[in-house]
Amino acid sequence: MTQCEINHKADAKSIDLSYTPEVQKETAHLYDKVSHVVPEIEWPAFAPYVKAINDLKKEKGAIILAHNYMTPEIFNCVADFTGDSLQLAKLAAETDAQIIVQAGVHFMAETSKILSPDKTVLIPDMKAGCSLAESITGEDVRLLKQKYPGVPVVSYVNTSADVKAESDICCTSSNAVQVVESLGVDRVIMTPDEYLAKNVATMTDVEIITWKGRCEVHEQFTYEDIEELRAANPGIKVLAHPECPPDVMAAADFAGSTSDMIGYVQNEKPDSVVLVTECSMSDNVAVENPDIDFIRPCNMCPHMKRITLQNILHSLQHMEHEVLIDEDVAARAREAVQRMVDLPAPKVVGPKFKTNQPPAQVELVAVA
Ligand code: 13P
Ligand code: SF4
């Protein structure tokens, strides 16, 4: 036995994580799927975990909900359901499985628990956070409501349960315009993503008061990046996530949630494309679209990347780390999430947010 095999055995205690001929045979169909994006040399390190996770899921009746930003070996080889934030929230509400392992960040696991309070929701790493979720607290929202009495609060799903509990309704990147307009009012508070709010404001007459939260991944993309990409790759289609700054959206061909981008690539089949978002997206979309040329300047989300095959296995083995929410907070947060989930399926926003209209009606507030 090699030292590497000994270490793997020690790591997972009773589970043998050697790359045996049996493991190779049982996982061969999965490697075929990802061979386009996972180098062959890496598979012997992944395959034993893939097999162990899939066996343990069956044994425990657990499911894995994976966000589109998970690495390809998680997304394609162990996930039962994949999607954007809205799809994952709906799947969590619908599943009969009693154990949900959330391969995503903490606010996603909290959303699953809010919608499925009787189920066990596990997150492989409690530190998998989000710069948007960390930018605002429930107390901040209470102060905003005092400052703007009677103005309804729309909170991005990328927030804590405390923030959701103070909100009238949640939204995601795929339904933000629809949610804002569903309230039938002239003015809303939309927290915490400044750029999402500014991008939504170009699509609606509703006045928006927002918060100075940013996604640390998407705020880094610039208008100049897009110009350079177009100059270097004539004819390329540029797809951007609405957490990007408004001038990046103006320069894109299409804007939408992570799943809307997948839909665009599948339907339009561009010769070459750049997904202006997190790095794993291109790998995951390339698996189903091997003939499309993906140009890959991208930014990594350090929080999403905390989730690995190793900690997913640990999570299932030891039932860690369970996401728990105070019952009163969860009940109030559920109303806001459920109101969003109950809306009809959103129309895809594309081709892009109408960035030719300056988002003049956005008021940016900071409550001291
Ligand atoms: P989506 O809902 O579009 O998947 O976005 C989630 C997210 O965290 C993007 O950064
Ligand atoms: Fe949060 Fe941005 Fe990471 Fe999404 S990509 S989880 S918004 S930090």
pLDDT of residue 116: 94
- The pLDDT of residue 359 is above 50: no
As a whole-number percent, the residues of the chain with pLDDT over 70 amount to 91
pLDDT of residue 360: 41
- The pLDDT of residue 169 is above 80: yes
Q: How confident is the model at residue 12 (pLDDT cuts 50, 70, 90)?
A: very low
Structure tokens at 123: 């997150």
Q: If you measure from the C-alpha of residue 83 to the centroid of ligand 1, how many angstroms do you get, rounded to a whole number?
A: 9
Q: How confident is the model at residue 349 (pLDDT cuts 50, 70, 90)?
A: low
Q: Which of 51-55, 250-254, 360-364 has the highest mean pLDDT?
A: 51-55
Q: If you measure from the C-alpha of residue 303 to the centroid of ligand 2, how many angstroms do you get, rounded to a whole number?
A: 7
Helix (H, G, I), strand (E, B) or coil at 356: coil
Shortest-distance Cα residue to atom 8 of ligand 2: 130
**What's the mean per-residue pLDDT of the chain?**
91
Least confident span in 39-43, 55-59, 110-114, 294-298: 294-298
pLDDT of residue 5: 45
**Same domain membership, residue 22 and residue 171:** no
**Same domain membership, residue 215 and residue 254:** yes
Overall pTM > 0.85: yes
Reported as a single tens digit per residue, the pLDDT across 63-88 is 999 999 999 999 999 999 999 998 99
pLDDT of residue 310: 98
Residue 168 CB: number of other CB atoms within 10 A?
Answer: 18
In angstroms, rounded to a whole number, what is the distance separating the alpha carbons of residues 286 and 34?
9
Pairing outcome for strands 62-67 and 153-156: unpaired
Q: CB of 219 closer than 6 A to ligand 1?
A: no
Q: How far from 257 is each of 86, 110, 134, 148, 221, CA to CA, in Å?
A: 9, 20, 21, 29, 16
Question: What is the enclosing helix (H) or strand (E) of 238?
Answer: strand 237-240
| Nearest ligand to residue 299 Cα | 2
Q: If you measure from the C-alpha of residue 86 to the centroid of ligand 1, how many angstroms do you get, rounded to a whole number?
A: 9
| Nearest ligand to residue 131 Cα | 2
Q: Residue 32 belongs to what domain range?
A: 1-130+204-326+349-368
How large is the greatest C-alpha to C-alpha distance in the chain, in angstroms?
A: 69
Mean pLDDT of 131-146: 96
pLDDT of residue 48: 98
Q: If you measure from the C-alpha of residue 109 to the centroid of ligand 2, how many angstroms do you get, rounded to a whole number?
A: 14
Reported as a single tens digit per residue, the pLDDT across 272-291 is 999 999 999 999 999 999 99
In angstroms, rounded to a whole number, what is the distance separating the alpha carbons of residues 128 and 105?
5
In angstroms, rounded to a whole number, what is the distance separating the alpha carbons of residues 311 and 54?
14
**Same domain membership, residue 340 and residue 247:** no
Mean pLDDT of 252-261: 93
Give the CATH number for residue 332: 3.40.50.10800
**Same domain membership, residue 279 and residue 336:** no
In angstroms, rounded to a whole number, what is the distance separating the alpha carbons of residues 322 and 306?
16
Q: If you measure from the C-alpha of residue 172 to the centroid of ligand 1, how many angstroms do you get, rounded to a whole number?
A: 7
Shortest-distance Cα residue to atom 1 of ligand 1: 84
| Domain count along the chain | 2
Q: How confident is the model at residue 357 (pLDDT cuts 50, 70, 90)?
A: low
**Same domain membership, residue 73 and residue 44:** yes
Q: Which of 241, 262, 306, 337 to mutate to test ligand 1, by most ligand atoms within 8 A of the CB atom?
A: 241
Shortest-distance Cα residue to atom 2 of ligand 2: 215
Higher pLDDT, 136 or 367: 136
**Same domain membership, residue 121 and residue 155:** no
- The pLDDT of residue 353 is above 80: no
Q: If you measure from the C-alpha of residue 2 to the centroid of ligand 2, how many angstroms do you get, rounded to a whole number?
A: 39
Contact residues of ligand 2, CB 6 A cut-off: 105, 130-132, 158, 215-217, 243, 278, 301, 303-304
pLDDT of residue 159: 98
**Same domain membership, residue 368 and residue 262:** yes
Atom of ligand 2 nearest to the CA of 302: 3
Residues 216 and 131 sit within 8 Å (Cβ to Cβ)? yes
Atom of ligand 1 nearest to the CA of 105: 8
**Same domain membership, residue 194 and residue 96:** no
**Same domain membership, residue 208 and residue 97:** yes
- The pLDDT of residue 3 is above 50: no
Q: Which of 215, 218, 276, 299 to mutate to test ligand 2, by most ligand atoms within 8 A of the CB atom?
A: 215
**Same domain membership, residue 186 and residue 150:** yes
Q: CB of 159 closer than 6 A to ligand 1?
A: no
**Same domain membership, residue 185 and residue 319:** no
Q: If you measure from the C-alpha of residue 4 to the centroid of ligand 1, how many angstroms do you get, rounded to a whole number?
A: 36
Q: How confident is the model at residue 354 (pLDDT cuts 50, 70, 90)?
A: low
Q: If you measure from the C-alpha of residue 84 to the centroid of ligand 1, how many angstroms do you get, rounded to a whole number?
A: 6
- The pLDDT of residue 355 is above 60: no
**Same domain membership, residue 167 and residue 117:** no
